[in-house]
Structure 1
Amino acid sequence: MTLLLAKRIALGVLIGGGLGFAYQRLIGCRTGTCPLTATPLRAILYGAVVGTVWALGSRSGS
């Protein structure tokens, strides 16, 4: 794995996790029954996975 790829994955995880947390806090689930945003940890993990997929999917720069 190249250093550039590792940086892109780390950035995707951080940005995705941060956006997942922000989504849970700002919009989130008011009743606690939403499967993805019921807890901050789930929202962060889901955001991190989506951020990783986005970072791996974009081909610019590699």
Structure 2
Amino acid sequence: MKKAIIITVIGVILGAVTGYLYYLNIGCDSGTCAITSKPLNSTLYGGLMGGLLFNMLVKSPKKN
């Protein structure tokens, strides 16, 4: 259980960093994009997606 939490937290951190880097390099200049027009939105969205992606890598325990 503890390993699953650690893996998910790593995913959130990497996703947040990636989201912020996406905002810096590609982000929406016009301000009409809901996610990429602000750094906070892009960072939070990246963190959410990273957490979900890394959480998929965690193996669930077998039930007897």
Bucket of the pairwise TM-score, normalised by the shorter protein? 0.7 to 0.9
Q: Any gaps of 5 or more consecutive residues in structure 1?
A: none
Instruction: Give me the TM-score of the superposition, normalised by structure 2.
Output: 0.85
2:39 matches 1:40:
yes
Structure 1 runs (4+) deviating above 4 angstroms are none
Deviation at 1:45, TM superposition (A): 0.6
Q: How does 1:46-57 map to 2 (within 5 A)?
A: 46-57=45-56
Aligned to 2:11: 12
What whole-Å deviation, never above 9, does each CA across 1:4-62 have from its counterpart, x for those lacking one?
111111100000000000000000001111111110000001001100110111246x7
- Residue correspondences, number: 60
C-alpha RMSD over aligned residues:
1.4
Q: Percent of aligned pairs with the same residue?
A: 30
Whose radius of gyration is greater, 1 or 2?
A: 2
